[in-house]
Structure 1
Amino acid sequence: MVFIFGVNFPEQNLVKRSLETFYGIGPQVSQRIMARFHIHPTAKVGELIQPKILSINAELTNMKIENDLRRHIQDNIKRLRDMGTYRGRRHAMGLPVRGQRTRTQITTARKLNRIERDRRG
């Protein structure tokens, strides 16, 4: 088992897939991190040497991921609501925010925004 940023990963996991488990790191960001530290795309976590693991940890501490990113996004939504902008009102009502169609296909947007509506009170 290998620790990366406080999370235990099995040695047979791909490095790319392991990095993508963190909230805020997608395929392109994980690919950029791996290219920066000269890690092959099919490398497994168990094959990494300790200095590379430490350098990946250092890189992840400089990024805004996991709870910091979630808090940042929630603060942005709260700021929009407090200002009373159109986007803030749409967030508060649980409706699509970015101009999607609401006449027929709104069920998906309501499902995705359900958490936000429940915290409104």
Structure 2
Amino acid sequence: MVFILGINFHEARLVRKTLQSFYGIGPQVCAHLLARLYIHPTARLGSLNNQKVLDITAELSNMKIENDLRRELRENIRRLRDMGAYRGRRHAMGLPVRGQRTRTQTSTAAKMNRIERLG
């Protein structure tokens, strides 16, 4: 088992998939991170030495991921709502925020904004 940021991962797991399991790290950020640390994209966690795992952990601890990123997004939406901005009102009503059509397809926006309305 490999321990990264307080989470145990199996050694047979791909490093790329492991990094992308963290909230806020997608394919692009993961590719840049692997390139910066000289890790092959198809490498597995078990093939990394301890220094590489420590380097990954150090890089991730400097990034804004998981709860910090979620908190920032929640605060940004709350700020828009408190200002009374158009986007804030759309978030509060659970409607599409970025100009999507509302005549027929608002169910997806209602699902996406449901968390923000309760908070």
Where do 4+ consecutive residues of structure 1 move more than 4 Å? Answer: none
Identity %: 67
Structure 2 residue runs without a partner (length 5+): none
- Secondary structure of the residue that 2:8 maps to in structure 1? strand
> TM-score scaled by structure 1?
0.96
The whole-number CA distance in structure 1 between the counterparts of 2:114 and 2:69 is 20
Which residue in 2 is equivalent to 1:91?
Answer: 91
- How many residues align? The count is 119
1:103 and 2:69 aligned: no
The runs of 5 or more residues in structure 1 that have no matched partner are none
The alignment's TM-score, normalised by the length of structure 2, stands at 0.97
Residue by residue, what CA displacement relative to the aligned partner does 1:78-105 show, whole Å, maximum 9, x if unpaired?
0000100000000111111000000111
Superposed CA deviations along residues 31-66 of structure 1, whole A, max 9, x for unmatched, are 111001110111001111001111111100110000
Query: Alpha carbon RMSD of aligned pairs, Å?
Result: 0.7
